[in-house]
Chains A and B, each alone.
Chain A
Amino acid sequence: MELTLSEHDREMAAGVHGQAPALAMRILTHVAAADGALRFIDITSAHVDSCLYHGEAGLDFAERLAATGGRVAVPTTLNVSSLDLLHPDLVHADDRLRDRGRRLMAAYTAMGGTPTWTCAPYQSPRRPALGEHIAWAESNAIVFANSVLGARTDRYGDFIDICAALTGRVPETGLHLDEHRRARVVFRLVGVPDRLASAEVLYPVLGHLIGRATGTKVPAIVGLPPGVPEDALKAFGAAAASSGGVAMFHAVGTTPEAPTLEAALGGAAPEQVIDVDLAALRAARDELTTHLDGVLTAVSVGTPHFSLEEFRSLAALVSGRQVAPGVEFYVNTSREVLAAAAAEGTVHTLRLAGIDIVTDTCTYITPVLRGRNGIVMTNSGKWAWYAPGNIGVEVAFGSLIDCVDSAMAGAIIRDEAVWSG
């Protein structure tokens, strides 16, 4: 069996609709053949990750597509960039990064991308529904779309994201198909105290642990309380997609394709069952910290981008308090969520406490932090995993409450009680 193209696919490949869709179809067809796909399917939306500047290659590709008349064929949101266009002084980019970052953003908006500049497009009210085929890039967005929304996206990365957006087509393969969405590995929480099981800090740690253990295989998690909040699932998925290659998970009793373990497994037996106990969770938590003894220079939260609900929680924690002198405190979020939080008044509360809000980008991918010689605290498993390599900082992981208490005290404070048996 070989890949069969529709008439429209063949026209795009032949250049009938312009050079940009032709280049996009050339790449898509190569990938489809490598994956053994038999045909392309329509998508209802795309989320493009390629708008973050990683060097001239990404800019060359975007500018070639834009210059040859590329226009998105489906509604397309844009991921974080290298710059904060709303608060330009927060990013200490040199002239070259400023120029290249802006040109890259301009190329993607010229092609019709919506300037959302967020890694959390699922926090918009206009988000895909159960069963919709989409082409999303950015690992945390992919895992959230598949697992929490029940929309269907394969693990798309840079370049193929805009190819899908320009053509409205993706190979029918991977997580678009039922057979790849069922769980292969079952993780059972065993003897985890209720207090920890219902704490937000569990989720990035559990995600980190499961990503390490499962790699790219779809995991199912049993033993979590029902109805895990979206922000916890966001933190879990982002960590699991960073430490492993998790593009979909089933939280049994919470996520839409996992009302029961049997449903998550799709009637098949698991390849492996792994018990997760308190000791394993503590070890995973410790992996997210590079240093605890030293000067706290910054706190960063909102990786993935802070939600409206998270603004409410943080505002309640910091109301009437002040970040200690010498400590920088950043919240990363999207323009859309920032506007909604500002309307509710939580942004004002944060600013009064001495917190800076970063939009359009994130503190671990572009130069925002001023002090880099001390320790940065975060509640994000993803930030903790990538920041040491990306921006050369030491990291201490803690809960949101730990982050706030530490920022106010000017020293690292962590509640150990929640991690004890």
Chain B
Amino acid sequence: MLLKGNAVGRVLLLDEPLSMWGGLDPETGEIIDRRHPQAGLNAAGRVLVMPAGRGSSSSSSVLAEAIRLGTAPAAIILGESDDIVLVGALVAEELYGITCPVVVADGDTYSRLRPDEEVTITPAGVAFPAVGEG
């Protein structure tokens, strides 16, 4: 786990990496990269899942600003570690005391993440709804 914390939210599964800068509007939480497969969806309060980070160095600033404004994802799950995402979340925690947990999921966990399913993030990792529940 890159940044430990607690969160609950529905999975927003991205088919491709998203650069927060140029890709996420911190005022609204909307995905604004028009070439991204999930363009137009809103990441606020969701558990954002993406295979990796992408692109600009400014993404740390955009993520921190989204966290400050309350438009950020509730948590971020990555297929591979990404310092730019981690640092944005770390600085927001330092400045505002708001934690947006950042998790690197192994292949098995990643493949179990289903769009729109509610998952719980704890300092131990990702918890899925028990099989057979509603």
Per-residue B-contact encoding for A26-66, CB less than 8 Å = 1, 0 else: 11001100110000000000000110101111101100100
Per-residue B-contact encoding for A336-372, CB less than 8 Å = 1, 0 else: 0000000000000000000000000000000000000
| A242-B91 contact in complex given A55-B68, A57-B61, C-beta closer than 8 Å | no
B90: contacting residue among A30, A64, A215, A216, CB under 8 A: A30
| A57-B55 contact in complex given A155-B83, A157-B84, C-beta closer than 8 Å | no
B64: contacting residue among A159, A243, A386, CB under 8 A: A159
User: Which residue of A has the minimal Cβ distance to B2?
Assistant: A34
Per-residue B-contact encoding for A295-329, CB less than 8 Å = 1, 0 else: 00000000000000000000000000000000000
Contacting pair A158 B52 (CB below 8 A): no
Does A134 sit at the interface, judged by CB under 8 A? no
Determine the main DSSP class of A at the interface with B.
Answer: helix
Does B125 sit at the interface, judged by CB under 8 A? no
Contacting pair A61 B91 (CB below 8 A): yes
Contacting pair A57 B57 (CB below 8 A): no
Does B60 sit at the interface, judged by CB under 8 A? yes
Contacting pair A245 B95 (CB below 8 A): no
> How far apart are the CA atoms of A386 and B58 in the complex, in Å?
12
Contacting pair B22 A55 (CB below 8 A): no
Contacting pair A27 B57 (CB below 8 A): no
Does A23 sit at the interface, judged by CB under 8 A? yes
B65: contacting residue among A57, A244, A388, A389, CB under 8 A: A57
User: Which residue of B has the minimal Cβ distance to A241?
Assistant: B55
- Give the interface size bracket for A toward B: 35 or more
A159: contacting residue among B35, B69, B88, B96, CB under 8 A: B88
- Among B23, B86, B92: residue with most chain A CB under 10 A: B86
Does B56 sit at the interface, judged by CB under 8 A? yes
Contacting pair B88 A158 (CB below 8 A): yes
**Shortest beta-carbon distance, B66 to chain A, in Å?**
8
**8 A-B residue pairings within 8 Å (CB atoms):** A34-B83, A57-B68, A57-B92, A142-B57, A157-B83, A158-B60, A244-B55, A385-B35
Q: B-side interface residues toward A, CB under 8 Å?
A: 2-3, 17, 19, 21-23, 26, 32-35, 52-62, 64-65, 67-69, 80-81, 83-84, 86-88, 90-92, 94-96
